[in-house]
Chain A
Amino acid sequence: MNDPKLLLLDPADNVLVAIQTLEAGDTLTVAGQRVNVPARLTLGHKLAARAIRAGEKILKYRVPIGSATQDIAAGEHVHLHNMKSDYLQTFTLESGQTFSTKNDHH
């Protein structure tokens, strides 16, 4: 069972989406386990629905939106610090320049 503050968009997904603000110190249920929210997360942020291994695809809407760059525990925040785009590495321009974006913004 998952906390009602978290939305599973598709049964195949391994991330949950916060549908309201999660405050630091809140305790949530993820996959039947109690987890603590370490820092404030606003609506739209993702938490691991289960343990995810480094290199595994992150699935949202049943679609891969990138892959884990490290092992991620159930209930952990999934974002720029522990996942990356699979798309940006594979899309290169004729000049060899990579498509610049978000991983640089953090």
Chain B
Amino acid sequence: MIITDQAYLRADGRKGIRNHIVVAYLVECAHHVAREIVYPYRERGVHLIGFGGCYPNDYAARMMRTLCTHPNVGGVLLLSLGCESFNRNSLREAIAASGRPVETLVIQQTGGTRKTIEQGRKLMADLLAKVAEVPRAPLPINELIVGTVCGGSDATSGITANPGIGRAFDRLVEQHAGCIFEETGELIGCEDIMTARAATPALAGILRDSVTKAAKYYTVLGHGSFAPGNAEGGLTTQEEKSMGAYAKSGASRISGLLKPGDIPPRGGLYLLDVVPDGEVRFGFPNINDNAEIAELIACGSHVILFSTGRGSVVGSAISPVIKVCANPETYRRMSEDMDVDAGKILEGRASLDEVGREILDLSLAVARGAQTKSEELGHQEFVLTYKSFEPIGPSCLPSA
């Protein structure tokens, strides 16, 4: 099935559903200048991302590279202070090698804040003209990648929105789209049922290990995923809470494990391992929902399905976020921020299958250009922190 014949064809052969320009600051010291350059263009598809740290880190470099060469990104402006340790040349080369126009401004060389903002805004006009000429091409459904995340969960999340997303994922995987679910820390207690869905015995072991790693990591940090508020909401055990989150994955076979920045090699359902490897360092694995969204996008997600019960408002830089609201009362209170009213299942206004179909149809409409609520409202949240991962082995991605 062809979703649209108007996808943005990049020189590297990947296809986007948006044609954004990214302005990327390479240290917090360049953040203000980058933001000021973006400001007049923020409603014209120019998005701000960046890494705040001054010291080099492989994870941050990989995330920035995969995000700047994301199929929804047509061109990039890099903003450097000048003395930070981020390797701006290697990032620029990687972006140029992908065929995308890329410019770099170094504040210390340009002559300070005002001059850099002026030059950056001039470059932005050129970049916008360049990306407007990107050729269009058909996007078959087997080239679409969809990620899912939940945040601000309540007792309705696991009953309505999450299984609704699971139904949509099942239909997408049937048509060989790439689907990514994540947060191994919220799969604690689901190991047996999840590993039974692995494509190979080797992958089953790898999936189990990823959850064990998450459980140890969270224990060392003293943060269970199970919070007192969960018990107030009627959840009793870790495995009960995990089952609710796990329901987002649907029922398809699991084809592989990804780490942040790995692109699914073909369609199918993938688990994204978000918990760092090695000894516990750099604190909590993902400091908020947007850190998880950024990792799903770094894995190539064109669209994000965000399940919320209490009512998150966030969107993201680079890829549109579809908010699936689990709680009908939250939906009535915050409908301007919500794309799908999954809580209507609780009021007998729709079945789970109907909500699953609605989520699928909306995902395809957004891939054709329809704006999500968070896009209309201008949400472009982005955060990237220090983490560390080891490369995955061949067993994570079965060849069959």
Task: Show the binding face of A for B, using Cβ within 8 Å.
Answer: 4, 7, 9, 17-20, 41-46, 58, 60-61, 63-66, 78-80, 83-88, 91, 93, 97, 99-102, 105-106
B240 contact set on A, CB distance < 8 A: 60, 65-66
Among candidates A20, A41, A93, residue contacting B216 with C-beta atoms closer than 8 Å: A93
Contacts of A60 in B (CB 8 A): 240, 243
Closest Cβ neighbor of A79 among chain B residues: B236
In the complex, are the beta carbons of B234 and A105 less than 8 A apart? no
- CB contacts (< 8 Å) of A101 on chain B: these are 224, 226, 238
A-B pairs with the 9 shortest C-beta distances?
A: A44-B155, A44-B234, A45-B234, A65-B240, A85-B237, A101-B224, A66-B237, A19-B346, A87-B189
Q: Which of B232, B238, B347 has the most CB of A within 10 A?
A: B238
B228 at interface by CB-CB < 8 Å: yes
CB distance from A15 to the nearest CB of B (A): 10
Q: How many residues of B contact A (CB 8 A)?
A: 32
Q: How far is the CA of A105 from the CA of B233 in the complex (A)?
A: 14
How does the 8 Å CB contact mask read for B265-302 relative to A, with 1 for contact and 0 for none? 00000000000000000000000000000000000000
Task: Report the minimal beta-carbon distance from A42 to chain B, rounded to whole angstroms.
Answer: 7
Apart from A65-B237, A65-B239, A85-B236: 7 A-B pairs, beta carbons within 8 A: A17-B155, A17-B234, A41-B234, A58-B236, A99-B238, A102-B226, A105-B228
Query: Mostly helix, strand, loop or mixed at chain A's interface?
Result: loop
What's the least CB distance linking B34 to chain A, in Å? 41
Whether B233 contacts A46 by the Cβ 8 Å rule is no
B237 close to A87 (CB less than 8 A): yes
Per the bound structure, the CA–CA distance linking A26 and B346 in Å amounts to: 19
A45 and B238 alpha carbons, distance in the complex (Å): 15
Pair A44/B224 contact, Cβ less than 8 Å: no
Decide yes or no whether B375 CB sits under 8 A from chain A. Answer: no
> A residues within 8 A CB of B231?
79-80, 102, 105-106
A88 to B238, CA, bound (A): 8
Q: Can you name 23 A-B pairs with beta carbons within 8 Å?
A: A4-B348, A7-B159, A17-B155, A18-B234, A19-B346, A19-B347, A41-B234, A42-B233, A43-B156, A43-B346, A45-B155, A60-B243, A61-B158, A63-B239, A65-B240, A65-B243, A66-B236, A80-B231, A86-B239, A91-B188, A93-B219, A99-B215, A101-B224
Q: Is the beta-carbon distance between A64 and B216 smaller than 8 angstroms?
A: no
| Interface mask (B192-230 → A, CB under 8 Å = 1, otherwise 0) | 010000000000000000000001100100101010101
Whose C-beta in chain B lies nearest to the C-beta of A61?
B243
CA distance A87 to B222 in the complex (A): 18
A85 contacts B239, CB within 8 Å? yes
- Also in contact, A44 and B154, with CB within 8 A (given A60-B240, A66-B239, A102-B237): yes
- What residue in chain A is nearest B158 (Cβ atoms)? A61
Contact of A64 with B219 in the complex, beta carbons under 8 Å: no
B247 is an interface residue with CB less than 8 A from chain A: yes
Q: Does B3 contact A (CB under 8 A)?
A: no
Least distance between A23 CB and chain B CB atoms (Å)? 15
User: Once the chains bind, are A102 and B224 in contact (CB under 8 Å)?
Assistant: yes
> In the complex the two chains form, what is the Cα distance from A20 to B247 in whole Å?
21
A95 to chain B, nearest CB (A): 9
Which residue of B is nearest A106, CB measured?
B231
Report B225-264 CB contacts with A as 1/0, cut-off 8 Å: 0101011111111111001000100000000000000000
Taking a contact as CB atoms under 8 Å apart, the answer to whether A97 and B219 are in contact is yes
Residues of A within 8 A of B188 (CB): 87, 91
Q: Please, which residues of chain A bring their CB within 8 A of the CB of B154?
A: 44
Of A7, A58, A61, A78, which contacts B247 at CB under 8 A?
A: A61
Given contacts A46-B234, A97-B219, contact A9 B159 (CB under 8 A): yes
- Chain B minimum-CB-distance residue to A77: B234
Which residues of chain B are near A64, meaning CB under 8 Å? 239
What separation, in Å, do the CA atoms of A99 and B217 have in the docked complex? Answer: 11
- Give B32 Cβ to nearest chain A Cβ, in Å: 42
Q: Given A43-B155, A43-B234, A44-B156, are A20 and B239 also a contact pair (CB < 8 Å)?
A: no
